[in-house]
A = this chain, B = another copy of it.
């Protein structure tokens, strides 16, 4: 196997471009870095195009096993020099292993009958928040996430890192608001909206077993359009000087309330 030593190699240039939204959108691929995430991607059978490693940096046995596993899955295995690896690495002390994955969007129309706990998010700007929500959703036995408004943020490097690999276990769909509306109407899917004030207390609410929790952005909440699609609205009662919670924290509080209720039944 040849070792790539030029930072100007076409594929290496492409990997660096995957850090940008534009290239992720164009190629439908994305960048993954670090042992834990790549191990998780392989473990869940997530579609991977290539694993790129640097033998000088890759000191972990688990790393070498991961590469062997990749070979068995017929994933391209590419060796690069340290200089080349550092040209695209995002971590401060990179572990010498990265990968290119295929974005794995679900068509929402293929999701019926919708089973289990889902979350739909409108206008979530912050990729860290988005990844953190994935992490909590996976931990609370959630099935997947629907991003409204055709965002590509799910495959942002910060989202992936914050998700701790939950991204690979969850189904990730995206839809315009009108597609989403048509779909939930047609399939009679219960959508429960979360709002900062005047919803029913989430603690006493009887959440359906199969449902979508709908949340808006921290700044703007849910638009009137989306509020009208909700079967019901819940609120986390709170006090103090702040008037809302961080979006990922609010999502986690509600998701784990639902999870605990489902588990105790």
The reply on A40 being an interface residue by CB < 8 A is: yes
The reply on A237 being an interface residue by CB < 8 A is: yes
Q: How far apart are A193's CB and chain B's nearest CB, in angstroms?
A: 18
Q: How far apart are A204's CB and chain B's nearest CB, in angstroms?
A: 9
The winner among A135, A140, A237, A256 for most chain B CB atoms within 10 A is: A256
Q: Are B40 and A249 in contact (CB under 8 A)?
A: no
* B-chain residues with CB within 8 Å of residue A128 when the two chains form the complex: 128
Q: Are A139 and B239 in contact (CB under 8 A)?
A: yes
Query: Known contacts being A253-B252, A253-B256, is A140 close to B238, with CB within 8 Å?
Result: yes
Q: Which residue of B lies closest to A43 (CB)?
A: B241
* B-chain residues with CB within 8 Å of residue A244 when the two chains form the complex: 139, 164
Q: How far apart are A234's CB and chain B's nearest CB, in angstroms?
A: 13
The contact string, 1 if C-beta is below 8 Å from chain B, for chain A 223-242, is: 00000000000001111111
The reply on A159 being an interface residue by CB < 8 A is: no
The reply on A138 being an interface residue by CB < 8 A is: yes
* B-chain residues with CB within 8 Å of residue A40 when the two chains form the complex: 241
The reply on A109 being an interface residue by CB < 8 A is: no
The reply on A59 being an interface residue by CB < 8 A is: no
Q: Of B136, B249, B253, which is within 8 A of A132 by CB?
A: B249
Q: Are B246 and A162 in contact (CB under 8 A)?
A: yes
Q: Are A246 and B165 in contact (CB under 8 A)?
A: no
The contact string, 1 if C-beta is below 8 Å from chain B, for chain A 133-170, is: 00110111110000000000000000000111110110
